[in-house]
Amino acid sequence: MSVHINAPDADPRGVVPSIVAASGARVIFDRYSDYERNRRILGIRQRPTKDMADIVVTSNLAYDRFALDAAPSGMAAYYRGLSAKPHLDVSNGRPTVAYFNPALRIVAMDGSVDRLKKIAAEIEAAAPSLKVELIEPPKSGE
C-alpha cells in the first residue's frame, strides 16, 4: 500500500509512466517507478535486455541501492550498464525521502535517442515543473 501525498504534477510517477507506456515502445517498469500495477514490472532478479524491452523505467529508489556496490556482476553491474545507455533523468527537483519524490530514469535499451527526445518533449509539455535531462553517454572510442 502506498499513499500519494504530492500533487500529480509534483511526483514524476504521476506523469511519466503513462507517457512512456503510450510511446509505442516495449516498456518494463521497476516497482518504484509507477503506481499502476498492471504494467510489466521489473523483478528484483529480472534483467531485461534490448530483446525484451525497448525502454526500462527505473527509479533512484531501486538503482541507488546498488550505487556503492562495485561487484563485476549482479544487479549493481546491471544498473551500471543501464546508466551507460542513453537515458532521461526526470525529477521534481526535491530530495527523495523514503518512498517520496523519486527520480525516474528512462533508459533506451535500443539506444534510440530520438525516442527519448520525443518522450522528453511530451513530459515537459504535460508537467513543466518536472526537470528532464537527456544523458547521452559517449560512444566507445570517444
Rounded CA separation 101/98 (Å): 8
User: Do the domain assignments include residue 140?
Assistant: no
User: Do the domain assignments include residue 79?
Assistant: yes
140: confidence class by pLDDT, cuts 50, 70, 90: low
User: Do the domain assignments include residue 122?
Assistant: yes
Nearest partner of 35 among 53, 61, 55, 54, judged by Cα: 61
138: confidence class by pLDDT, cuts 50, 70, 90: confident
User: Do the domain assignments include residue 116?
Assistant: yes
- Find the domain containing 38 and state its range: 12-131
Q: What is the pLDDT of residues 86-132, one digit of tens each?
A: 999 999 988 887 777 889 999 999 999 999 999 999 999 999 999 99
**Number of domains forming the structure of the chain:** 1
Q: What is the pLDDT of residues 13-60, one digit of tens each?
A: 989 999 999 999 999 888 888 777 676 666 556 677 788 899 999 999
- According to the model, what pLDDT value does residue 9 have? 46
Which position has the higher pLDDT, 142 or 12? 12
User: Do the domain assignments include residue 50?
Assistant: yes
User: Do the domain assignments include residue 37?
Assistant: yes
User: Do the domain assignments include residue 139?
Assistant: no
80 HSE (CA, 13 A, CB side): 12
**Contact present, 90 and 97 (Cβ < 8 Å):** no
User: Do the domain assignments include residue 39?
Assistant: yes
What phi, psi does 17 have (nearest 5°)? -55, -40
Report residue 137 as a C-alpha cell: 553517454
Q: What is the pTM of this model?
A: 0.84
Which position has the higher pLDDT, 75 or 123? 123
